């Protein structure tokens, strides 16, 4: 430790910087040198922050007297050979720098000590660039997969005024760089959470981002990094590149497809053209990878809204590997027997371009979309396709057809009977989230090629018909209590699926505040240790709810469906929300150790 010339100690008094070799900063007197040498440790405060000064091997060292992990008072730790060990979870710190040897704990703030004139003064440096430090900690937390470090960084960054979109961008750049396989569940969850932040209680913003970022971290750890391919220098026109791309995806040539896509992106084409190019290749095959490719692709486009189209090449090329290698459902028996749905699809979508251009526009209403959705629940696949065809001829726009299919998929969830296997919730979930992705993509590019995907989703909804036999009673028949607070019992007790749907349905249709209902559902999602599908279905439900008029029957049923899904999967251990709660309390400086432990930890007893 440096021993400096005497400076008159006074709490928070600006320092006379003195000789040139003294660092600038405030001197805060903690005690005198003789007491420090005798006791080995002195404690005091710098403003509201507790500090402790240790005497070790003939020198003095000061650190914040609060373990950055969970707040244990570090003056009760052990110092040996320049290492300070916290006695709660045994994190070790370099006494001189505060750097931790155990990354789960984070670094502790260290202060220089001035011993001039026999006084022990902690020197408080001018403030560091806290945002830069927190950004670094966020990256480190993502790399090492430590949710508490991620949570503390996110809470700190939001507290410093950093926009959620910037934090999401950090996660997206990280996720695209460090996952050789490309876009995965982590980035999908992160973008879904980013999309729902505006609909949550503001106090849940950090929690939503942490859920997404922890998913990204889990999705990248232990995996090779990604190296993107360069675009071709010749730059063929878009038509040719699209044809190449579809051909390369069809033959599962992912490197060739990535190069064609990178070339199109480098030529400056925008979201509509690129949606068309990528999703026409996706919809060349039937409902690939249970619809996940549809949802992933849509999410990738959505995240570019926050990152800017300048990141399109970095983001969109990460989708190629999964698209090329996806499972194709036309190869599966459910799509071929007893009715060959792939032939039905091929025949019914062959002339979509002509039908779309000749249909008289504008005559289709929300009531017609509702009626179409119920028709789509038919027992006959021919009738399902026929209902879409007739609606198209009657003037339904691609957006309206896609919305009807998404609503029909939501009705499958609302009518899903709890007698089904629990795992079958995933079936109705896949149809709904893929249909929502199709709806969002059609909004970006209402092309005939994408419209094929709407027909595919409609037949996927048809395939789930057995999950509505028998059908659950609609929430319209629910007569129990319907306060927002009544939902809590549905999350804390297993089996209250129908109650959850009924309460939400009545809250919406009886004039309740839909924003509060959505925020409450979102809070519950984030309170639980949610699985991948939970985030997808909640985000899709919010999107579809907002596609209908306020307080509509359709919107109420859509939210009732997602409430049923949540109630069917809760409660969980609720660990991640607990981590974020701890991080929040640490940041506020609230006592954690003191209120949790009545006696000394085992380590101290043993020593």
Question: Which residues contribute to the site for ligand FES (CB under 6 A)?
Answer: 67, 69-70, 72, 86, 88-89, 91, 105
Whichever of 395 and 601 has its CB closer to ligand FES, that residue is: 601
What is the closest distance, in whole angstroms, from the C-beta atom of residue 104 to ligand FES in the complex? 8
Whichever of 75 and 430 has its CB closer to ligand FES, that residue is: 75
What is the closest distance, in whole angstroms, from the C-beta atom of residue 69 to ligand FES in the complex? 3
Please spell the DSSP secondary structure of 102-164, one letter per residue: SGGG-PPPEE-EE-GGGEEEEEEPPP--HHHHHHHHHHHHHHHT-HHHHHHHHHHHHHTT--H
What is the closest distance, in whole angstroms, from the C-beta atom of residue 529 to ligand FES in the complex? 21
What is the closest distance, in whole angstroms, from the C-beta atom of residue 155 to ligand FES in the complex? 17
CB 297 within 8 A of CB 278: yes
What is the closest distance, in whole angstroms, from the C-beta atom of residue 107 to ligand FES in the complex? 12
3-state SS, one letter per residue, for 353-379: HHHHHHCCCCCCCHHHHHHHHHHCCCC
Whichever of 29 and 89 has its CB closer to ligand FES, that residue is: 89
Whichever of 105 and 559 has its CB closer to ligand FES, that residue is: 105
Whichever of 148 and 526 has its CB closer to ligand FES, that residue is: 148
Whichever of 91 and 562 has its CB closer to ligand FES, that residue is: 91
Taking each continuous run of H as one helix and of E as one strand, the counts in the chain are 27, 10
Distance CA 569, CA 497 (A): 9
Whichever of 72 and 535 has its CB closer to ligand FES, that residue is: 72
What is the closest distance, in whole angstroms, from the C-beta atom of residue 100 to ligand FES in the complex? 9
Give the single-character DSSP code of 65.
S
What is the closest distance, in whole angstroms, from the C-beta atom of residue 78 to ligand FES in the complex? 12
What is the closest distance, in whole angstroms, from the C-beta atom of residue 601 to ligand FES in the complex? 9
Whichever of 91 and 146 has its CB closer to ligand FES, that residue is: 91
Other CB atoms within 10 Å distance of the CB of residue 493: 12
What is the closest distance, in whole angstroms, from the C-beta atom of residue 93 to ligand FES in the complex? 9
CB 120 within 8 A of CB 33: yes
Whichever of 86 and 122 has its CB closer to ligand FES, that residue is: 86
Indicate the pairing of strand 92-94 with strand 119-124: unpaired
* Cβ partners under 8 Å of residue 504, min gap 6: 475, 487, 517, 521, 556, 559, 560, 563
Other CB atoms within 10 Å distance of the CB of residue 489: 14
52: which strand partners?
43, 63
Whichever of 65 and 273 has its CB closer to ligand FES, that residue is: 65
DSSP three-state, residue 52: strand
Please spell the DSSP secondary structure of 67-108, one letter per residue: -TTT---GGGSEEETTEEE-TTT--EEETTT--BSSGGG-PP
Indicate the pairing of strand 26-32 with strand 41-46: unpaired
Distance CA 432, CA 497 (A): 18
Whichever of 10 and 597 has its CB closer to ligand FES, that residue is: 597
Whichever of 479 and 599 has its CB closer to ligand FES, that residue is: 599
Indicate the pairing of strand 49-56 with strand 41-46: antiparallel
For residue 591, what are the CA distances in angstroms to 50, 51, 71, 350, 562? Answer: 12, 15, 7, 67, 37
What is the closest distance, in whole angstroms, from the C-beta atom of residue 567 to ligand FES in the complex? 35
Whichever of 67 and 458 has its CB closer to ligand FES, that residue is: 67
Whichever of 467 and 592 has its CB closer to ligand FES, that residue is: 592
Please spell the DSSP secondary structure of 155-211, one letter per residue: HHHHHTT--HHHHHHHHHHHHHHS-TT-S-HHHHHHHHHHHHGGGS-GGGHHHHHHH
Distance CA 196, CA 379 (A): 35
Q: With CA atoms as reference, report the closest residue to 252 among 222, 215, 284.
A: 284
What is the closest distance, in whole angstroms, from the C-beta atom of residue 150 to ligand FES in the complex? 17
What is the closest distance, in whole angstroms, from the C-beta atom of residue 591 to ligand FES in the complex? 12
Neighbour-count burial of 51, counting CB atoms closer than 10 A to its CB (0-12 exposed, 13-18 middle, 19+ buried):
buried
Distance CA 537, CA 527 (A): 16
What is the closest distance, in whole angstroms, from the C-beta atom of residue 67 to ligand FES in the complex? 3
Q: Most distant CA pair in the chain: distance in Å? A: 94
The encoded tokens of residue 556 equal 């109420």
What is the closest distance, in whole angstroms, from the C-beta atom of residue 85 to ligand FES in the complex? 9
Length of the chain: 607
Whichever of 190 and 579 has its CB closer to ligand FES, that residue is: 579
What is the closest distance, in whole angstroms, from the C-beta atom of residue 72 to ligand FES in the complex? 4
The encoded tokens of residue 270 equal 């925008």
For residue 222, what are the CA distances in angstroms to 144, 175, 186, 227, 434? Answer: 10, 13, 14, 16, 29
Sheet (strand 26-32) strand order = 26-32, 119-124, 113-114
């Amino acid at each position: 430790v440096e021993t400096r010339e005497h400076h008159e100690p006074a709490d928070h008094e600006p320092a006379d910087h003195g000789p040139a070799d003294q660092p600038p900063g405030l001197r805060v007197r903690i005690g005198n040198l003789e007491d420090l040498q005798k006791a080995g440790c002195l404690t005091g405060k710098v403003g509201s922050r507790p500090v402790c000064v240790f005497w070790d091997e003939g020198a003095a060292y000061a650190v914040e007297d609060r373990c950055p992990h969970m707040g244990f008072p570090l003056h009760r730790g052990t110092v040996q050979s320049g290492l300070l060990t916290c006695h709660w979870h045994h994190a070790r710190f370099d006494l001189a720098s505060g750097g931790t040897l155990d990354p789960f704990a984070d670094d502790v703030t260290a202060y220089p000590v001035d011993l001039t004139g026999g006084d022990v003064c902690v020197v408080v440096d001018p403030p560091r660039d806290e945002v830069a430090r927190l950004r670094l900690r966020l990256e480190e937390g993502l790399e090492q997969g430590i949710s508490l470090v991620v949570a503390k960084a996110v809470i700190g960054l939001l507290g410093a005024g950093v926009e959620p979109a910037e934090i999401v961008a950090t996660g997206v750049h990280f996720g695209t760089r460090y996952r050789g396989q490309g876009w995965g569940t982590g980035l999908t969850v992160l973008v879904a959470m980013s999309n729902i932040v505006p609909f949550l209680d503001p106090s849940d913003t950090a929690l939503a981002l942490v859920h997404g970022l922890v998913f990204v971290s889990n999705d990248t750890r232990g995996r090779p990094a990604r190296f993107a391919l360069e675009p071709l220098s010749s730059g063929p026109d878009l038509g040719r590149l699209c044809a190449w791309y579809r051909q390369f995806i069809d033959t599962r040539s992912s490197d060739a497809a990535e190069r064609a896509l990178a070339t199109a992106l480098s030529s400056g084409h925008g979201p509509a053209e690129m949606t068309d190019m990528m999703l026409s290749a996706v919809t060349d095959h039937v409902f690939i990878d249970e619809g996940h490719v549809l949802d992933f692709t849509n999410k990738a486009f959505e995240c570019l809204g926050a990152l800017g189209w300048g990141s399109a090449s970095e983001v969109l090329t990460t989708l190629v590997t999964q698209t090329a290698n996806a499972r194709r459902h036309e190869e599966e028996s459910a799509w071929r027997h007893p009715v060959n749905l792939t032939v039905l699809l091929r025949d019914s979508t062959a002339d979509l371009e002509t039908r779309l251009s000749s249909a008289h526009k504008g005559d289709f209403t929300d009531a017609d979309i509702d009626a179409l959705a119920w028709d789509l629940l038919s027992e006959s696949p021919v009738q399902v396709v026929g209902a879409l065809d007739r609606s198209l001829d009657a003037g339904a726009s691609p957006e309206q057809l896609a919305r009807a299919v998404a609503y029909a998929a939501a009705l499958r969830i609302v009518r899903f009977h709890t007698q089904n296997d629990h795992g079958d919730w995933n079936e109705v979930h896949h149809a709904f989230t893929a249909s929502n992705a199709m709806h969002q993509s059609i909004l970006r590019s209402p092309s005939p090629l994408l419209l094929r995907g709407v027909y595919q989703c409609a037949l996927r909804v048809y395939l789930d018909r057995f999950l509505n036999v028998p059908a659950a009673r609609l929430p319209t028949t629910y007569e129990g209590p319907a306060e927002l607070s009544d939902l809590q019992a549905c999350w804390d007790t297993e089996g209250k699926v129908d109650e959850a749907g009924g309460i939400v349905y009545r809250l919406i249709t009886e004039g309740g505040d839909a924003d509060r209902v959505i925020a409450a559902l979102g809070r519950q999602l984030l309170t639980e240790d949610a699985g991948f599908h939970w985030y997808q279905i909640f985000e899709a439900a919010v999107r579809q709810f907002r596609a209908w008029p306020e307080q509509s029957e359709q919107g109420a049923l859509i939210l009732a469906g997602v409430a049923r899904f949540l109630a069917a999967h809760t409660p969980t251990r609720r660990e991640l929300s607990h981590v974020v709660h701890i991080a929040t309390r640490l940041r506020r400086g609230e006592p954690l150790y003191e209120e949790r432990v009545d006696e000394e930890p085992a380590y101290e007893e043993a020593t």
